[in-house]
């Protein structure tokens, strides 16, 4: 997706040839117009899949996920990493190891928000080792719902996440796919 590549070129910062910092438009400050375009692109790719719910994980997936939900006219749920004081509901849960924070998070979704038979589209900002996306598929499966696909804003194809998800049978749609970083530059697949 060219508009996203242009934004990465203009504002992305490569860190130690392994991480891409995109705090100015995706991970800290948010560019609403760009978020809307990303959401519309995902919605277009999944328009024939009868999506009933968008599922993401807090916090960086939420901005894009809500735009997908708006475009598809379906609700958006985010998996929580911290226990909520007002949530005494029964929950689906899994453990996700965070690539960037190097820690495990116990993540939950209230059972009230995910019903058996739903068609769920999973959204996340980055795909690296696939831990976050796989964790979300486990939650969907606990609910007896279907994963119609996994939408990723930035796939780092040199890490094993995409292959892992595809070999588990999931459809992965990434808006840009990074082959490598070299000398602070981003090289696409």
Q: Could you list the residues that contact ligand 5GP (CB under 6 A)?
A: 19-22, 27, 60, 99-100, 124-132, 156, 161
Give the sign of the dihedral formed by CA 29, CA 150, CA 162, CA 145.
positive
74-85 residues labelled b (16+ CB within 10 A) or e (exposed)? bebbbbbeeeee
Identity of the residue, 52 or 181, whose beta carbon is nearer to ligand 5GP in the bound complex: 181
DSSP 61: T
Query: Minimum distance from CB of 124 to ligand 5GP (Å)?
Result: 5
Identity of the residue, 65 or 145, whose beta carbon is nearer to ligand 5GP in the bound complex: 65
Query: Minimum distance from CB of 131 to ligand 5GP (Å)?
Result: 3
Identity of the residue, 65 or 148, whose beta carbon is nearer to ligand 5GP in the bound complex: 65
**Number of helices and strands (H, E) in the chain?**
5, 10
Query: Minimum distance from CB of 57 to ligand 5GP (Å)?
Result: 7
Query: Minimum distance from CB of 127 to ligand 5GP (Å)?
Result: 5
CB within 8 A of 183, min separation 6: which ones? none
Identity of the residue, 21 or 83, whose beta carbon is nearer to ligand 5GP in the bound complex: 21
């Amino acid at each position: 997706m060219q508009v996203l590549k242009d934004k990465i070129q203009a504002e992305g910062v490569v860190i130690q040839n392994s991480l891409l910092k995109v705090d100015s438009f995706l991970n800290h400050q948010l560019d609403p117009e760009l978020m809307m375009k990303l959401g519309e692109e995902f919605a277009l790719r999944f328009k024939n899949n009868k999506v009933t719910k968008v599922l993401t994980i807090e916090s960086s997936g939420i901005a894009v996920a809500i735009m997908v939900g708006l475009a598809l006219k379906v609700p958006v749920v985010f998996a929580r990493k911290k226990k909520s004081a007002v949530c005494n509901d029964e929950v689906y849960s899994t453990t996700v190891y965070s690539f960037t924070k190097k820690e495990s998070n116990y993540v939950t979704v209230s059972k009230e928000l995910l019903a058996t038979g739903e068609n769920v589209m999973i959204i996340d900002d980055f795909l690296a080792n696939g831990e976050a996306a796989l964790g979300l598929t486990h939650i969907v499966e606990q609910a007896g719902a279907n994963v119609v696909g996994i939408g990723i804003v930035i796939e780092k194809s040199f890490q094993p996440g995409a292959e892992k998800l595809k070999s588990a049978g999931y459809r992965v749609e990434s808006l840009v796919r990074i082959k490598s970083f070299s000398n602070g530059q981003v090289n696409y697949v």
